[in-house]
């Protein structure tokens, strides 16, 4: 009997220890705000309202679209319209090209995507309680940033030393910028453990990526976005006016 009691006691102690171990395990949560929902705008590597231009040869991986602009506002792509008239193709685009003037259902699809883009921008601007306000007076260079909501009431310039965003695949960065956003020539946004899909640049004025610069994340631009010669981007450009590519590379 004593042997049985001891065995049962050992089993109970083992189960209790296991339960304590499970309850003590830390919960896996993200740092920073919740990711901004892009809706169907997330189906595009580049989406703009008034036009997209390229100085060949640019390289885009993913779909691109313009609305309410017509196909004539897609310039520099040497487009070939599909037999259905729903989309075009280009040697510079690994994906499909859409415009509001194309055949159904493209116009309605683009109208929805643009509305989703505008909502995403509004939601991004409306996020409250930033953890960082006017960091470094908007002059960012050589900094390592942690997840969170960042807010600037002026322009932001990323210097030639670039910046690093460090965290985990669950962490989110949102940058609210009331002025312009500029990357110096050769500047790089580098991710360490972070996903580009969880980085959001919510910019009220123009965005310019200088020659040979590199950016990661989703640009939600109220106005124009320009990628100068040799600039590269891993993410999406969702602009409420115009996107200009100058022998640039975008991987959506």
As to burial, measured by CB atoms within 10 angstroms (0-12 exposed, 13-18 middle, 19+ buried), residue 1 is: exposed
Q: What are phi and psi of 235, to 5 degrees?
A: 155, -145
**31 DSSP assignment:** -
Query: Sign of the CA dihedral 115, 112, 209, 188?
Result: positive
Sheet (strand 189-192) strand order: 143-145, 163-166, 189-192
Q: What is the DSSP letter of 79?
A: -
Q: What is the pLDDT of residues 178-189, one digit of tens each?
A: 999 999 999 999
- For residues 236 and 218, the answer to whether their CB atoms sit within 8 Å is yes
**At a CB cut-off of 8 Å and minimum separation 6, what does 161 contact?**
141, 142, 187
Confidence bin at 30 (pLDDT 50/70/90):
confident
Whether pLDDT at 124 is above 60 = yes
**Which residues 6+ apart lie within 8 Å of 59 measured at CB?**
92, 94, 248, 249, 250
pLDDT tens digits, one per residue of 76-94: 999 999 999 999 999 999 9
β-pair type (143-145, 93-99): unpaired
Enter the tokens of residue 186: 């050769």
Taking only the tens place, the pLDDT of each residue in 178-230 is 999 999 999 999 999 999 999 999 999 999 999 999 999 999 999 999 999 99
Cβ atoms of residues 109 and 40 within 8 Å: yes
The whole-model pTM stands at: 0.88
Of 29-43, 127-141, 171-185, 236-250, which gets the smallest average pLDDT?
A: 29-43
Strands, sheet with 242-246, edge to edge from the N-terminal-most edge strand:
74-75, 51-55, 242-246, 225-227, 207-209, 181-183, 156-158, 139-140
Residue percentage of the chain with pLDDT more than 90: 87
């Amino acid at each position: 009997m004593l042997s049985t009691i001891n065995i049962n006691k050992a089993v109970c102690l083992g189960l209790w220890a296991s339960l304590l171990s499970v309850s003590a395990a830390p919960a896996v949560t993200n740092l920073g705000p919740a990711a901004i929902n892009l809706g169907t705008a997330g189906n595009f590597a580049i989406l703009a309202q008034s036009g997209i231009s390229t100085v060949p040869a640019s390289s885009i991986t993913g779909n691109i679209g313009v609305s309410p602009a017509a196909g004539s506002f897609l310039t520099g792509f040497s487009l070939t319209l599909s037999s259905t008239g729903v989309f075009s193709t280009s040697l510079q685009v690994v994906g499909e090209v859409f415009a509001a003037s194309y055949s159904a259902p493209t116009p309605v699809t683009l109208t929805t995507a643009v509305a989703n883009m505008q909502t995403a921008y509004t939601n991004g601007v409306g996020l409250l309680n930033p953890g960082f306000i006017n960091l470094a007076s908007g002059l960012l260079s050589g900094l390592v940033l942690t997840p969170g909501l960042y807010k600037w009431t002026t322009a932001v310039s990323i210097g030639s030393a670039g910046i690093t965003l460090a965290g985990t695949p669950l962490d989110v960065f949102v940058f609210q910028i009331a002025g312009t956003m500029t990357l110096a020539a050769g500047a790089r946004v580098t991710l360490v453990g972070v996903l580009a899909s969880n980085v959001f640049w919510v910019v009220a004025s123009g965005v310019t990526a200088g020659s040979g610069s590199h950016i990661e994340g989703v640009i939600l631009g109220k106005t124009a976005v320009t990628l100068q010669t040799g600039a590269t981007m891993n993410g999406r450009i969702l602009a409420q006016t115009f996107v200009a590519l100058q022998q640039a590379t975008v991987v959506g």
